Amino acid sequence: MTSFDGSYKGAGLALMIQILAGSLAGSVYAQNDTDCDYGSLLIALDPSKFAGHEFLDEQTEQIITAYKQNSDTELFYPGERSEKKRIAAMESGEIEIDEALFTKLKKYL
């Protein structure tokens, strides 16, 4: 069993998932790959069903703010850096592209 982060907490989490997924999917676990019957389990949760969209958005914003304030480096959530570049390009009316790509694109003009 491979732990997520190499610590006892990661190993415990990996064990919990293995037990849950193995039991629900009906797979058999063995100590070697030739005898192991891997099962697949997919669990989908809709967080908004637990707390509602407004509460979820508020909590997410608070978590992101806390992480960003307590970091020594600039942190971006997925898509944030691209969005900042898109907004800057729209405001300036220009986009930055690689010289090699620009050379290839000029062939089609």
Q: Compute the distance between CA of residue 82 and CA of residue 100 in angstroms, rounded to an integer.
A: 21
Are the C-beta atoms of residues 96 and 88 closer than 8 Å to each other?
A: no
Q: Tell me what pLDDT residue 48 has.
A: 79
Q: Tell me what pLDDT residue 86 has.
A: 92
User: Is residue 69 assigned to a domain?
Assistant: no
Q: Tell me what pLDDT residue 5 has.
A: 61
Token digits of residue 37: 């019957």
Q: Tell me what pLDDT residue 91 has.
A: 96
Provide the β-strand partners of residue 73.
none
User: Is residue 38 assigned to a domain?
Assistant: yes
Q: Tell me what pLDDT residue 87 has.
A: 95
User: Is residue 63 assigned to a domain?
Assistant: no
- Domain span holding position 38: 1-44
To which residue do tokens 């949760």 refer? Answer: 45
Q: How many domains does the chain have?
A: 1
Q: Tell me what pLDDT residue 74 has.
A: 86
pLDDT along the chain (109 residues), means of 10: 61 78 71 65 81 89 90 86 93 91 90
User: Is residue 97 assigned to a domain?
Assistant: no
User: Is residue 70 assigned to a domain?
Assistant: no
To which residue do tokens 């009906």 refer? Answer: 26
Q: What is the DSSP string of 32-57?
A: STTT-B---------THHHH-HHHHH
User: Is residue 8 assigned to a domain?
Assistant: yes
Is the pTM higher than 0.75? no
User: Is residue 60 assigned to a domain?
Assistant: no
User: Is residue 18 assigned to a domain?
Assistant: yes
Q: Tell me what pLDDT residue 16 has.
A: 81
